[in-house]
């Protein structure tokens, strides 16, 4: 397993990490993702550790805390061998103090996560979404206090607007507080919007990307194609309403290109999609998930080899789309392109 720096921090993370959204299986979304109990979770974690995957990502909202509980139980006795990342900020109840990242909510959420995970510290805490109701000074000051107390090692965000992330970095610099070092983002061959603004920001600010849903919400598993509609047993039937959208013909163009490269390399469609991401700027770790041992072992084989420059170019061309304004002119007009070349 290749290990990389998480942004400009000193934390080294594996190129592939494991997402535990499949642990617990509570609620309409997470039950469709997977329903691993502690025994199965321990087996999947065993396989990850054998392959050098040492970072495990969860969130308090995953199965209403059950994912954190199962992960903590499965890691019992080997906490020193792993890194734990969790997220908070999304609603955990109907009360006014059950959502967001105010000082009171954030402290309470961290304490609850530590208890569910059975640990005294989090290696990485990520804010699951931007909370416009909490002043950025309150947020960054609270994170500074939690880090000073040893309850957190590093802080990051997830699904954040670029201007708010930059504002938070500026506030941290002004007060001498720890900066965000990670951004957990949706990024895949069928979802490259991350490249337009957030990737250049990450390059400039030393923020490493932790990629969620690298297979495009299950669309790049090899089971779907131009002549292969969503199969009967696919979780997409229950979860597509929650998925980042993709235009059907664009999806098929990308899958066609992946399948050509897969045939050339003898690799699977998911392995091609994952390997392509591992080459992208700012990507510190790609979060893989699995409902069973077979899926996990297949995804783990996405490392240890490289696509050729010609194969990367073919995948780039098939998956590229024009970005929204104001980025569009920089891709379409020669003068603009010379002023502001792309980051990738």
Active-site annotation, residues? 62
As given in the structure block, the two tokens for residue 24 are 């617990």
Burial of 36-67, coded b for 16+ CB within 10 Å and e otherwise, reads: bebebbbebbebbbebebbbbbbbbbbbebbb
Task: Write 302-305 long-range contacts (CB < 8 A, 24+).
Answer: 302/16, 302/270, 302/271, 302/274, 302/275, 302/278, 303/1, 303/2, 303/15, 303/16, 303/275, 303/278, 305/265, 305/267, 305/275
Residue 183 DSSP SS3 = strand
As given in the structure block, the two tokens for residue 14 are 């594996």
End-to-end CA distance of the chain: 24
Residue 258 near residue 189 (C-beta atoms within 8 A): yes
Q: Which of 67, 192, 72, 61 is CA-nearest to residue 121?
A: 72
Residue 36 near residue 26 (C-beta atoms within 8 A): no
Q: What is the spatial distance between Cα 237 and Cα 240, in angstroms, rounded to a whole number?
A: 6
Q: What is the spatial distance between Cα 154 and Cα 10, in angstroms, rounded to a whole number?
A: 10
């Amino acid at each position: 397993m290749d290990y990389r720096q998480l942004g400009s921090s000193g934390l080294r993370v594996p190129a592939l990490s494991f997402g535990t959204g499949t642990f617990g299986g509570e609620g309409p979304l997470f039950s469709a993702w997977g329903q691993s109990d502690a025994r199965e979770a321990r087996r999947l974690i065993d396989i990850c550790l054998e392959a050098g995957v040492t970072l495990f990502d969860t969130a308090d909202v995953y199965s209403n805390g059950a994912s954190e509980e199962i992960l903590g139980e499965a890691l019992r006795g080997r906490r020193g061998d792993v890194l734990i990342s969790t997220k908070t900020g999304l609603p955990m109840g109907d009360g006014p103090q059950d959502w967001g990242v105010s000082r009171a909510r954030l402290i309470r959420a961290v304490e609850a996560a530590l208890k569910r995970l059975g640990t005294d510290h989090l290696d990485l805490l990520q804010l699951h979404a931007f909370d416009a109701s909490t002043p950025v000074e309150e947020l960054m000051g609270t994170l500074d206090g939690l880090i000073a107390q040893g309850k957190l090692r590093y802080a990051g965000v997830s699904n954040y607007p670029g201007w708010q992330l930059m504002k938070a970095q500026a506030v941290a610099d002004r007060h001498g507080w720890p900066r965000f070092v990670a951004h957990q983002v949706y990024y895949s061959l069928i979802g490259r919007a991350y490249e337009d603004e957030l990737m250049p920001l990450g390059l400039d600010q030393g923020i490493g990307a932790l990629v969620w849903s690298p297979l495009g919400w299950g669309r790049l598993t090899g089971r779907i194609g131009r002549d292969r509609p969503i199969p009967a047993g696919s979780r997409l039937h229950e979860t597509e309403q929650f998925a980042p959208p993709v235009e059907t013909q664009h999806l098929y163009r990308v899958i066609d290109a992946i399948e050509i490269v897969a045939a050339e390399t003898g690799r699977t469609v998911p392995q091609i999609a994952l390997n392509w991401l591992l080459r992208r700027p700012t990507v510190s770790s790609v979060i893989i998930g699995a409902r069973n041992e077979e899926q996990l072992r297949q995804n783990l084989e996405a490392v240890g080899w490289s696509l050729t420059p010609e194969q990367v170019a073919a995948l780039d061309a098939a998956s590229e789309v024009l970005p929204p304004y104001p980025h569009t002119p920089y891709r379409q007009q020669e003068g603009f392109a010379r002023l502001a070349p792309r980051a990738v």
